[in-house]
Amino acid sequence: MNLFPISLVDYRFQRKKIVQTQVAEWLQQGIVEPCSSEYSSPVVIVRKKDGTPRVCIDYRRLNKVLVKDRFPLPLIEDILDRLQGSRVFSTIDLKNAFFHVDVNKASRKYTSFVTHEGQYQFLKVPFGLCNSPAVFQRHINTIFRPLINDGIVLPYLDDIIILSSSFEEGIERVESVLSIASEYGLEINFNKSHFFKEDH
Q: Which CATH architecture has domain 6-64+71-198?
A: 2-Layer Sandwich (3.30)
Q: Tell me, what's the pLDDT at 8? A: 38
- N-term to C-term CA, the chain: 73
Which amino acid is present at 12? R
Q: How far apart are CA 195 and CA 174, in angstroms?
A: 8
Domain boundaries, the chain: 6-64+71-198
CA atoms within 13 A of residue 196's CA, in its CB half-sphere = 10
Return the amino acid letter for 102: D
Choose among 131, 194, 183: nearest CA to 160.
Answer: 194
pLDDT at 200: 55
Q: How far apart are CA 136 and CA 138, in angstroms?
A: 5
Q: What pLDDT tens digit does each residue of the chain (200 aa) get? A: 344 444 333 457 678 889 999 999 999 999 999 999 889 999 988 888 888 888 999 999 999 988 898 887 777 777 777 777 788 889 999 999 899 999 999 999 999 999 988 999 999 999 999 999 999 999 999 999 999 998 889 998 899 999 998 899 999 999 999 999 999 999 999 999 999 988 75
Q: How far apart are CA 137 and CA 98, in angstroms?
A: 9
Q: What is the pLDDT of residue 116?
A: 87
